[in-house]
């Protein structure tokens, strides 16, 4: 088991955003958490990477409980988080952004190789390697955020709304990229409002509603279920 | 012409010192949005460290300035750890008021120590004084040369650290967004400590260079110097490293020119600049308005 979340609760003051959620991710899987805005998806991811404290519950990563560990140590443990809104560093060049992705590593030669690998995956980033990231389009920034996450050589990548704010053609490109990344051996936890696309590439899925998991199962089964279709797939 | 060049020499000499001190304000503001009011007092502590190093240990200039950078830098890291970090997630006003408190403490604690006290002290000669007459007739002295060379070297070193090293990249990442930086595996607390360390080291150096030029020191010397350097940081655009350097130079030159025109104007010139910049370009000369793309 790569990731095993047990009875996780996250609260902001008196407001509980995540109300006892349990789910798991196996090595090599793409698992998706889908649900409407405010369902608690982002809070779950932020708790996994240590950005918000878990009120109760356990987050077991390769058997080790991550609750209470600071975010930078969680990155060192092998979890890379592509945050909502991408958060590329706008005043730094594309190259510097990628180098920050490899911040925890010291193997300079391998870092340079990995950067070339990212550039072969996203040729547009290569053309713009000396450009400030803030001058990239939204789609390119998303590519950069994924590329930057690859630079950490983690084993689990968690993606928060990678399709947010992108034109439909770019959304498809982003999802193709995620599939590519999985082929390279990465395990992926994907949070999406675009449930249609997310369930199409995922192995398994969980449906969240106001801080609780209401449905779970094989992604293809979920996509076929009437209540999921009605609530999230627009028919 | 000769007088203009002479004034320019004085102005640059003063300006590079303001720039060194302004860098600490701007770096700390850039990384945690705090106006570190205690920063000016680290200038004073740097001056006193050099004073005691020279008087008690017989230290030469390189050793004196090294200690005057190292000790305030360590002190600044301790201040951040003890006074500012516990308030990091509290309203910004709390940390601001704490900074004023730290400043008052740093001014008054040494004042009651028997070996420091409230009186002015003459600052020792750290380098031999020598005048050089330039072909144009302007006079340049050895202290001015050392001042300018050391300041420029330190600013080049800082620029290199910020733009070409891993820790500099991490500093820029933290200043943009702490969460995003920590997701890169950056230990944000450590990078904030490094920022305080570097800023205070420059302030300590500024204190020594200033005291070599105006060789009387006392525990309150950091107030004025700090205020002017803060104005320089705002003038250049607070948060901007090149802005602090430019702002310092402009402040130094304006002050010297204003003093030459009418000696009472000197002190006021900084505030005139502050008012003008706040009226017409509140983000500062090189300050940027942040734009985010969705």
Is the CB of B186 inside 8 Å of chain A's CB atoms? yes
pLDDT at B267: 81
CATH architecture label of B2-280? Orthogonal Bundle (1.10)
Closest Cα partner for A178 from A129, A121, A123?
Answer: A121
pLDDT at B227: 95
B292:A71 CB<8 A: no
CA distance B202 to B25: 10
Query: Quick check: A117 pLDDT over 70?
Result: yes
- Cβ atoms within 10 Å of B61's Cβ, excluding its own: 18
A116 three-state secondary structure: helix
B186:A100 CB<8 A: yes
Is the CB of B180 inside 8 Å of chain A's CB atoms? yes
Min mean pLDDT across A99-103, A221-225, B46-50 is at A221-225
B169:A99 CB<8 A: yes
Name, in order, each residue with C-beta under 8 angstroms of B246's C-beta and a sequence gap of 6 or more.
B19, B235, B236, B285, B286
Query: How confident is the prediction for chain A on average, in pLDDT?
Result: 93
| Predicted confidence (pLDDT) per residue in A130-140, tens digit | 999 999 999 99
pLDDT at B209: 98
Is the CB of A83 inside 8 Å of chain B's CB atoms? yes
Closest Cβ–Cβ partner in A91, A92, A103 for B186: A103
Is the CB of B165 inside 8 Å of chain A's CB atoms? no
Mutate to test the interface with A, among B31, B166, B185 (most CBs of A within 10 A): B185
Interface of A with B in 161-220 (CB under 8 A): 164-165
> Quick one: tokens of B122?
């003459």
| Predicted confidence (pLDDT) per residue in A145-176, tens digit | 999 999 999 999 999 999 988 888 889 989 99
A234 confidence band (pLDDT: 50, 70, 90): low
A72:B166 CB<8 A: no
Is the CB of B289 inside 8 Å of chain A's CB atoms? no
A92:B182 CB<8 A: no
Contacts of A141 in chain B (CB under 8 A): 293
A134:B166 CB<8 A: no
B179:A87 CB<8 A: yes
pLDDT at B263: 85
Domain extent for A101: 3-232
Q: How many domains does chain A have?
A: 1
Sequence ranges of the domains in chain B? 2-280
Average pLDDT over residues A13-42: 94
Closest Cα partner for B47 from B27, B78, B74, B69?
Answer: B69
Question: In tens digits, what is the pLDDT along chain B, a chain of 294 residues?
Answer: 778 999 999 999 999 999 999 999 999 999 999 999 999 999 999 999 999 999 999 999 999 999 999 999 999 999 999 999 999 989 999 999 999 999 999 999 999 999 999 999 999 999 999 999 988 888 999 999 999 999 999 999 999 999 999 999 999 999 999 999 999 999 999 999 999 999 999 999 999 999 999 999 999 999 999 999 999 999 999 999 999 999 999 999 999 999 999 888 888 898 999 999 999 999 999 987 654 444
pLDDT at B291: 47
pLDDT at B289: 61
CATH assignment of the domain containing A138: 3.40.50.300
Closest residue of B to A87, CA-based?
A: B180
Angle at B171 between CA B169 and CA B173, to 5 degrees: 70
> Are A18 and A40 contacting, i.e. CB atoms less than 8 angstroms apart?
yes
Is the CB of B33 inside 8 Å of chain A's CB atoms? no
pLDDT at A233: 62
pLDDT at B290: 54
> Are A148 and A98 contacting, i.e. CB atoms less than 8 angstroms apart?
yes
| Predicted confidence (pLDDT) per residue in A49-90, tens digit | 999 999 999 999 999 999 999 999 999 999 999 999 999 999
CA distance A108 to A118: 15
């Amino acid at each position: 088991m790569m990731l095993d979340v047990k009875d996780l609760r996250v609260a902001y003051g008196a407001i509980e955003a995540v109300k006892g959620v349990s789910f798991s991710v196996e090595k090599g899987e793409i698992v998706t958490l889908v649900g409407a805005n405010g369902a608690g998806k982002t809070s779950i991811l932020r708790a996994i990477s240590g950005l918000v404290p878990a009120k109760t519950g356990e987050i077991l990563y390769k058997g080790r409980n991550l609750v209470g560990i600071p975010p930078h140590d969680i990155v060192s443990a092998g979890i890379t988080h592509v945050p909502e809104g991408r958060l590329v560093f706008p005043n730094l060049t594309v190259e510097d952004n990628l180098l920050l992705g490899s911040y925890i590593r010291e193997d300079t030669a391998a870092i340079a190789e990995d950067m070339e690998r990212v550039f072969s995956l996203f040729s547009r980033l290569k053309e713009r390697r000396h450009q400030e990231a803030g001058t990239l389009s939204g789609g390119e920034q998303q590519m950069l955020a994924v590329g930057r996450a690859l630079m950490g050589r983690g084993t689990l990548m968690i993606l928060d709304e990678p399709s947010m704010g992108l034109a439909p053609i770019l959304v498809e490109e982003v999802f193709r990229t995620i599939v590519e990344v999985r082929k390279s051996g990465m395990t992926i936890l994907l949070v999406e409002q675009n449930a249609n696309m997310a369930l199409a590439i995922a192995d398994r899925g969980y449906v969240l509603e106001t801080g609780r998991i209401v449905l779970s199962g094989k992604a293809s089964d979920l996509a076929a279920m009437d209540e999921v279709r009605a609530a999230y797939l627009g028919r | 012409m000769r007088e203009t060049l002479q004034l320019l020499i004085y102005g640059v000499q003063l300006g590079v010192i303001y720039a060194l001190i302004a860098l600490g304000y701007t770096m700390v503001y850039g990384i945690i949005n705090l106006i570190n009011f205690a920063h000016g007092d680290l200038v004073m502590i740097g001056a006193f460290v050099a004073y005691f190093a020279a008087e008690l240990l017989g230290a030469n200039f390189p050793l004196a300035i090294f200690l005057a950078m190292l000790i305030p830098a360590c002190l600044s890291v301790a201040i951040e750890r003890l006074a500012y970090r516990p308030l990091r997630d509290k309203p910004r006003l709390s940390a601001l008021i704490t900074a004023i408190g730290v400043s008052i403490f740093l001014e008054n604690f040494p004042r009651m120590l028997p070996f420091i006290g409230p009186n002015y002290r003459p600052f020792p000669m750290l380098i031999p004084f020598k005048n050089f007459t330039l072909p144009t007739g302007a006079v340049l002295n050895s202290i001015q040369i050392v001042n300018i060379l050391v300041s420029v070297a330190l600013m080049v070193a800082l620029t290199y650290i910020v733009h070409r090293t891993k820790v500099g990249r991490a500093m820029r990442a933290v200043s943009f967004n702490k969460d995003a930086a920590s997701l890169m595996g950056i230990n944000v607390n450590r990078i904030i400590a490094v920022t305080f360390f570097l800023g205070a080291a420059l302030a300590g150096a500024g204190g020594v260079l200033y005291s070599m030029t105006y060789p009387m020191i006392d525990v309150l010397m950091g107030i004025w110097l700090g205020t002017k350097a803060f104005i320089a940081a705002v003038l250049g655009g607070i948060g901007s490293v090149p802005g602090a350097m430019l702002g310092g130079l402009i402040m130094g030159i304006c002050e010297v020119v204003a003093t030459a025109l009418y000696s009472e104007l000197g002190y006021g010139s900084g505030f005139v600049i502050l008012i003008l910049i706040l009226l017409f370009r509140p983000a500062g000369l090189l300050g940027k308005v942040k734009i985010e793309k969705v």
